[in-house]
Amino acid sequence: MGKKTCQVTEFCLQGRFVGFVLEDDYKIKLLRLDTAEGESWIKLSKEARAGLGQVLLPGDWIEVCGDRKLNTETGAVKLKASRIRVKAGIQRQVLPPEAKASQPKKKPACILVCQKSDCCKRGAMEVSQALAEGLRDRNLSQEVMIKGTGCMKHCKAGPNIVMPDKSAYRRIDASEVPEILDKHFVTQNQSKDAVPVLASVV
């Protein structure tokens, strides 16, 4: 008697990403997901946080899977995510085989953002969000990806980012991101197959 009894089952939900709930203003604690049944708040496991290879923007369509714990005494349900996957390709146009053969897939350029605690305290999440929005505004989301990394060894000078040409930036503020993107990427808008050109930085 007096012991809590929990029933654990697996869940898999799809919906629109609303945002994160933060702990201590920088640690990601919960993910908010808008589904057909309403909004769910889902705790993230270490594996889920580590596996988040890209920055999520509000409105992104994602799939979240993990464990659902039901307290059979109180009826309380807790969700804990073990895997998050962005549902890509929904609006992607299917190309004929000959077009695919003539257009080899290019590896996307990569911007590295430190996501360790010191950098997060200094605004790394806001910088990541600004980078994602800036790339989306410039139609570069498919050509340039943002990748969270471990410590870059410059903790007191965070947030730290490294651009695809290996240029490193310290103490970055989210407001500086548009200028940095314009400095590093020049889009060629004449062609439908616009490719980002890495600008040289002195």
Alpha carbon distance 62, 84 (integer Å): 7
Asked if residues 41 and 32 have their Cβ atoms less than 8 Å apart, the reply is yes
pTM to 2 decimal places: 0.51
Query: What is the three-class DSSP state of 122?
Result: coil
Same domain, 122 and 175: yes
CATH number, domain with residue 73: 2.40.50.140
Q: Report pLDDT digits (tens) over 159-191.
A: 999 998 888 999 989 999 999 998 888 753 433
CATH number of the structural domain spanning residue 137: 3.40.30.10
> For the segment 36-45, what is each residue's pLDDT rounded down to a tens digit?
888 889 998 8
Instruction: Quote the number of domains for the chain.
Output: 2
Residue 125 lies in a domain: yes
Question: Could you tell me the residue range of the domain that residue 56 belongs to?
Answer: 8-86
Decide if 121 is inside a domain: yes
Residue that has been written with the tokens 């310290």 in this structure: 170
